[in-house]
Amino acid sequence: MSLRAPLRRRALLATGLAGAALASSTGLVALTPRTARAGAQIEEPLSDTVRSALSAAVAEAPPPRLEFANAIEYQDYIRWRERAGALLTRHKPLAQVRAEFLDTVWYESRRAGLQTALVLGLIQVESAFRKYAISPAGARGYMQVMPFWARLIGDGDERRLFHLQSNLRYGCAILRHYLERERGDLFLALGRYNGSRGRAEYPRAVFAARERWADV
């Protein structure tokens, strides 16, 4: 699902993000060895159609460019980003880093047809907003993406899972894939994402975290 296309004769306001540098797996990652609260997504066979669709969904793209129908929408977004940023201060003290993170979450969640509050809740539970988090199962980054996804639907470069936009794009595309597999059942889709399908602990934790961000 793509962002809403601009309508004719409507003013468009956009904010650009500077491209984030790709992390080195032997540098910055080694400085943050703390593990994350993630399960282990199960590697499952994908049909050629699904593989192609997912590959297209995570294809490399330029940094997000946020588009708004008018100045009121833009100002609403800025106010939301300020309120959400206030909740992130403990995790991300630098204002520019918080803004870049929230711009990217907002863009990628909507691109995948997901609630931004849901994606923020999932990140809170999975990695506690740590960019270089690694789980005991090997899942990586904000959305704790398993490395096998880079091989299945990406270019095979696992280091990209520590890149802000790439990690969020993979994570959102995978969650959307699981949601479609579960015919819209978010409880089961979240369980599949975490590798704990059918158990309640993980979906409930994400739902509770989502409420925090939905109230922003």
Domain boundaries, the chain: 63-214
Q: Is 64 a residue whose pLDDT tops 90?
A: no
- For residue 200, the model assigns a pLDDT of 96
In CATH terms, is domain 63-214 a member of 1.10.530.10? yes
- Long-range (24+ apart) CB contacts under 8 A made by 99-106 are 100/17, 100/18, 100/20, 100/164, 101/129, 101/164, 103/15, 103/17, 103/64, 103/66, 104/17, 104/64, 104/164, 104/165, 104/168, 105/168, 106/64, 106/66, 106/77, 106/81
Q: Is 60 a residue whose pLDDT tops 80?
A: no
- For residue 43, the model assigns a pLDDT of 84
- For residue 4, the model assigns a pLDDT of 38
Q: How far is residue 74 from each of residues 12, 17, 67, 119, 161, measured CA to CA in Å?
A: 9, 15, 8, 21, 30
- For residue 59, the model assigns a pLDDT of 86
Q: How far is CA 135 from the centre of its chain?
A: 16
8 A C-beta contact, residue 27 and residue 116: no
pTM for this model (two decimals): 0.79
**R_g (Cα) of the chain, nearest Å:** 17
